[in-house]
């Protein structure tokens, strides 16, 4: 096929983006399943927050893909802000949560929805909830795309969640290993060879 003017036909971009990365051992959740799940979560939030103007707080960096796909499906008058916390090095949680970037706006009296990529030990969300509640929001709920209940150390139940997954390290759709693989449109498990020489 001849590509004129450097424009790549839509069908080709779609095929390229769904080709499985060579470092991925298996796809755990497909792009289609992620998008269908997000549509369901958005419908719940649209219903629950009707007439209100929630603030979505995206937790960087892992939630960016989820947040943007979720926002596009919200019919509410919502706004967005970000926080960045870190507790992971490579594929291991250090157990110590550090606040790296704080909110720009006050959340006092507002309806807050924290948007997370995954709840693992629960330490990050435990820290965030405690921190945010001191700022006196009107309400505070959590939406997490993924949940690994078997890894939990702190009791956290998100109001909205997408998929419960087994206790193994996953990448893609915002989730990284040493900052790689966030751009994959699906969620997968890495081949052992992808970790070699890269342990933090
Ligand atoms: P928690 O504090 O152990 O619940 O971990 C929360 C954070 O750790 C998430 O927001 C992710 O950034 C990271 N994380 C936990 N599990 C995984 C995983 O399987 N892959 C990539 N990152 C993960």
Retrieve residue 117's tokens.
């990529």
Q: Is the minimum distance from the CB of 122 to ligand 1 under 6 angstroms?
A: yes
Q: How far apart are CA 99 and CA 119, in angstroms?
A: 17
The arrangement of strands across the sheet holding 79-89 comes to: 92-101, 79-89, 55-60, 111-119, 139-147, 160-164
Q: Is the minimum distance from the CB of 195 to ligand 1 under 6 angstroms?
A: no
Burial of 126 (0-12, 13-18, 19+ CB in 10 A): middle
Nearest alpha carbon, ligand 1 atom 17: 169
Q: For the segment 130-174, what is each residue's pLDDT rounded down to a tens digit?
A: 999 999 999 999 999 999 999 899 998 899 999 999 999 999 999
Q: Record the pTM.
A: 0.88
Residue 140 · residue 112 · CB < 8 Å: yes
Q: For the segment 105-116, what is each residue's pLDDT rounded down to a tens digit?
A: 999 999 999 999
Nearest alpha carbon, ligand 1 atom 21: 175
Q: How far apart are CA 156 and CA 147, in angstroms?
A: 10
């Amino acid at each position: 096929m001849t590509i004129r003017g450097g424009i790549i036909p839509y069908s080709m971009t779609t095929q390229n983006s769904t080709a499985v990365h060579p470092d991925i051992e298996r796809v755990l959740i497909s792009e289609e399943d992620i998008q269908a799940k997000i549509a369901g979560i958005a419908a719940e939030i649209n219903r629950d927050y009707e007439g209100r103007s929630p603030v979505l707080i995206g937790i960087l960096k892992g939630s960016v893909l989820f947040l943007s796909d979720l926002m596009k499906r919200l019919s509410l008058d919502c706004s967005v802000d970000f926080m960045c916390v870190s507790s992971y090095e490579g594929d291991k949680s250090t157990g110590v949560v550090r606040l790296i970037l704080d909110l720009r706006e006050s959340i006092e009296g507002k309806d807050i929805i924290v948007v997370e990529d995954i709840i693992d030990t629960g330490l990050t969300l435990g820290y965030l909830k405690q921190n945010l509640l001191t700022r006196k929001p009107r309400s505070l709920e959590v939406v997490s795309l993924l949940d690994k209940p078997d890894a939990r150390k702190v009791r956290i139940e998100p109001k909205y969640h997408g998929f419960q997954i087994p206790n193994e390290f996953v990448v893609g759709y915002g989730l990284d290993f040493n900052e790689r693989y966030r751009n994959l449109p699906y969620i997968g498990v890495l081949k052992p060879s992808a970790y070699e020489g890269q342990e933090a």
